[in-house]
Structure 1
Amino acid sequence: MEFWIIFTKMVLLVYIAVQCVQENVSHISWVVLAFLIYFSTNITVYLFKNHTTKKAVLALSIAITTVAYLVVHPLFSLILPLTIVELAAGWIEKKLFILLLALVPILDMDPSLRPIYSLVAFLSFLIFSLTSTYGEKLLKNEELNDSMRRKLQKLTKNINENTEYIRQSEYTFKLEERNRISQEIHDKIGHSMTGALFQMEAAKRLLMTDPDKATELLQNAINISKEGIENIRLTLKNLKPPTEQMGIHRLKLLIDDFNAKQPLKTVLTHEGNLDIISPIQWKIIHENITEALTNALKYSHASQVSVDLKVLNKLIRVEVRDNGAGTDTIRKGLGIIGMEERTAAVHGKVIIDSTQGFSVTMLLPFE
């Protein structure tokens, strides 16, 4: 804002200087002196940060300009309106009153100067209004940027703290799970194996003296070992998550990761008995959905994609549909061909539709 005000004053001073030279003013030294005093005073205005001091210097500048207008040359009145507008803006809120105040000197002015003075007063008011509005907006934007920067720093700090908390929670969970598994093995399997070992040691000692008793002890050891093996099998079975949980959880993770990294909103819905889906079918579903989402991101110009998984009576139906513009001609590239080949490997079928957006539907049969 200050740059444009100074620039406007310099233009007015140059205009006054040119007019004085053309008129061949006899007291040119006084003109130069008035120029220097006015220029020094107005440069000083922008060196002070205190508003009271600035207003005082602006008032002094108006006084110097008035003296120069009355004593040196009438054209010095042209630099009066902008200074009046600058000074009045600190007290008067309504801009129309500021313009009227800048036009007050025209009442006691040579009639020949009134048109150009009015024009300069209006232009000075317009330039000051535009630059002050722009400066206020710029200041608000800077304050908004500072506020957003502080919020961003706070959010980044929270994310880092949450990430560290999640990492520590995962580590703690792993330790607790390892401790639980260790305790379970010790309580169930360890005791069984120790009992079987004692039975076999006793049978070894009685093998020559009491074969029947030794045989009984060995049979007990065998039974205990079988029980221990069964406990191992049950423990491992309980630790291993079901196939359907691995499949749907992996699919949810894929969708969440895609939503986090891409602007395309993706919604997953599922229905039916997921236990029926085999591991190889889950693999094909996962790979085909990944390919379909990639194609939607690259070509569809859509804002949303829906992924719908349904287990019906005779088959598994998976549909990936976007709300894009679609296409009149479907060209099967390597991605669609790959989906068809993977699906055909398990006797399935892929249906492509582009009438309403673009959709890829997989039909996978099961026994």
Structure 2
Amino acid sequence: MDFWILFTKLLLIIFIAFNFVQVNISDIAWIVLALLLYFSVNISKHIFKVNTVSVILLLLSMGISVVSYYFLHPLFSLLLPLSIVELAAKFIDKKMPILILSLIPILYLHEQIQPIYGLVAIFCLMIFSITSISSEKLEKNEMQIDAMRKSLQKLTKNINDNTEYIRQSEYTFKLEERNRISQEIHDKIGHSLTGALFQMEAAKRLMESDSQKATELLQNAINISKDGIENIRMTLKNMKPPTEQVGINRMKLLMDEFNSKEQIKAILTYEGNLEIITPIQWKVIHENVTEALTNAMKYSHATQISVEMKILNRMIRVEVKDNGLGTDMIKKGLGIIGMEERTASVNGKIIVDSSHSFSVTTLLPIQS
């Protein structure tokens, strides 16, 4: 805003300087001095931002204009309206009273200068109003940007805190799980093996003196060892998650990673008994879906991809379909050939359809 106000005043000074006619040579020095003094005062006003100093400098600027009008040249009156507008705007919000105040001096001016003074007063009010509105909008935008920056910093801090919390939680869960497994092995398997060791030590000592008792103790040790082995097997079985749980969670993780990195939205749906899918079939499904997602991201120009898994009576059907552009001719690259080879290795089949958008369907037989 300050720049445009100063620029307007400079234009007025240049206009006045080029319109001096019939000026005595002795008055030129005083005119130049008055113009320089006026411009220096106004520059000082924009340097000192204190409101009281600004008001004093504005009054001084108006005084220079009035004195120069009476003693040097009538055109100096054209410097008065913008100073009046600036001063009045500090105390009055409405534009019409400011315009009336800036036009009051027209009553005391020469008739020849009155029309141009009125035009300059209106022009100065328009410039001041435009610059004021622009300055307010700029200040409002800066405040919004600052608020958004603070909000972004706060969100970033929350994300970092949440990430650290998740990391610590995962580490704590791992420690708790390790502690639980260690305690379970100690309570069940450790006691069993210790009891079997005592039985075998006792049988060793009684081997020569009481063979029957030694045989009995050895049999007890064998039974205890069998129970220990069974406990180990049950513990490991309980620790190992079901295959279908691992498979579907891995697919969900693949979808989440894809959605977080790409602009295309991927949706996973599934129905049927997932327990009948074998680990090798899960591997083929996961790799085929990954390849199909990559191809759709590169070539389809789609906004959404659907991944649908259905367990039918005799087969497993996995379809990856996008809503992008199809093609009249399918060129089998390394990606599709790789999917066909992987699927064929488990007696399955790949169907590629590009008639409407693009879809890749994996068909796998259900193993009895």
TM above 0.5, one fold? yes
Where does residue 92 of structure 2 map in the other structure? 92
Structure 1, residues 293-320: CA drift from partner, whole Å, max 9, x if none?
A: 2233333333332222222222222222
Q: Mark the CA change 1:355 to 1:49 in structure 2 (over 3 Å): closer, same or farther.
A: farther
1:65-98 Cα shifts (integer Å, max 9, x gaps): 2322233212223222322322232233333443
Residue 311 (structure 1) aligns with: 311
The aligned runs of 1:193-272 (5 Å cut-off) are 193-272=193-272
- Mark the runs of 5 or more structure 2 residues left unpaired by the alignment: none
Cα 1:362–1:87 shift into 2, 3 Å: farther
Q: Deviations over 1:230-266 (max 9, x none)?
A: 1111111111111111111111112112222223222
CA 1:54 to 1:328, structure 2 compared with 1: closer, same or farther past 3 Å? farther
1:286 partner amino acid: H
Residues 189-244 of structure 1, C-alpha deviation per residue, up to 9 Å, x if partnerless?
A: 11111222222222222222333332222222212111111111111111111111
In structure 2, what residue type is equivalent to 1:12?
Answer: L
When residues 48 and 316 of structure 1 are mapped into structure 2, their CA distance, relative to the original with a 3 A threshold, is: same
Q: Which amino acid aligns with 2:248?
A: I
Take 1:339 and 1:96, find their aligned partners in 2: how far apart are those partners?
Answer: 77
Distance in structure 1 (CA, Å) of the matches to 2:24 and 2:349: 98
Matches within 5 A, 1:65-214: 65-214=65-214
Q: How far apart in 1 are the matches of 2:329 and 2:133? A: 54
Aligned partner of residue 19 in structure 1, secondary structure: coil
* TM-score, with structure 2 as normaliser: 0.90
**What residue in structure 2 maps to residue 335 of structure 1?**
335
Aligned equivalent of 1:61: 61
SS of alignment partner, residue 363 of structure 1: strand
- Residue 2 of structure 2 aligns to which amino acid in structure 1? E
Partner of 2:321, secondary structure, is strand
Q: Determine if the alignment matches structure 1 residue 320 to structure 2 residue 301.
A: no
* Distance in 1 (alpha carbons) for counterparts of 2:168 and 2:10: 66
| d(CA) in 1 for partners of 2:22, 2:305 | 78
Counterpart AA for 1:301? H
Greater Cα shift, 5-14 or 129-138: 129-138
Single out whichever of 276-285 and 153-162 deviates more from structure 2: 153-162
CA distance in 2, matches of 1:226, 1:185: 15
Quote the Cα distance in structure 2 between the aligned partners of 1:97 and 1:355: 72
Helix, strand or coil for the counterpart of 2:363?
A: strand
Following TM superposition, by how much is the alpha carbon of 1:327 offset from its aligned partner in structure 2, in angstroms?
A: 4.2
Q: Which runs of 4+ in 1 moved over 6 A?
A: none
Give 1:138's aligned amino acid. L
Return 23-32 or 40-49, whichever deviates more: 23-32
The SS at the match of 1:308 is strand
2:118 and 2:276 mapped to 1: Cα distance? 88
Equivalenced residue count is 366
Instruction: Give ranges in structure 1 of 5+ residues lacking alignment.
Output: none
Residue type of the alignment partner of 1:153: Q
Query: What are the within-5 Å matches in structure 2 for residues 353-364 of structure 1?
Result: 353-364=353-364
In 1, distance between residues paired with 2:115 and 2:355?
Answer: 70
Q: What SS class does the counterpart of residue 338 from structure 1 fall into?
A: helix
Higher mean C-alpha displacement, 239-248 vs 124-133: 124-133
Determine whether 1:278 maps to 2:272.
no
The alignment partner of 2:70 has SS state of: helix
Distance in 2 (alpha carbons) for counterparts of 1:363 and 1:120: 83
Counterpart-to-counterpart distance in 1, 2:341 and 2:118: 82
SS of structure 2 residue aligned to 1:317: strand
Q: How many Å apart are 1:165 and its aligned residue?
A: 2.0
1:344 corresponds to: 344
Alpha carbons of structure 1 residues 41 and 243: separation in structure 2 relative to 1, 3 Å: same
- Separation in 1, partners of 2:146, 2:189: 63
Alpha-carbon spacing, 1:168–1:101, altered in 2? closer, same or farther (3 Å): same
Query: Greater CA deviation, 233-242 or 285-294?
Result: 285-294
Provide closer, same or farther for how the CA distance between residues 192 and 327 of structure 1 changes in structure 2, counting only shifts above 3 A.
Answer: same
- The alpha-carbon deviation at position 340 of structure 1 amounts to 2.8
CA change 1:87–1:331 in 2 (3 A) is farther
The sequence identity of aligned pairs, in percent, is: 66
SS of 1:46's partner is: helix
The alpha carbon displacement at 1:161 in A equals 2.2
Report the TM-score, using the length of structure 1 for normalisation: 0.90
Point out the more displaced range, 92-101 or 75-84.
92-101
Tell me the equivalent position of 1:302. 302
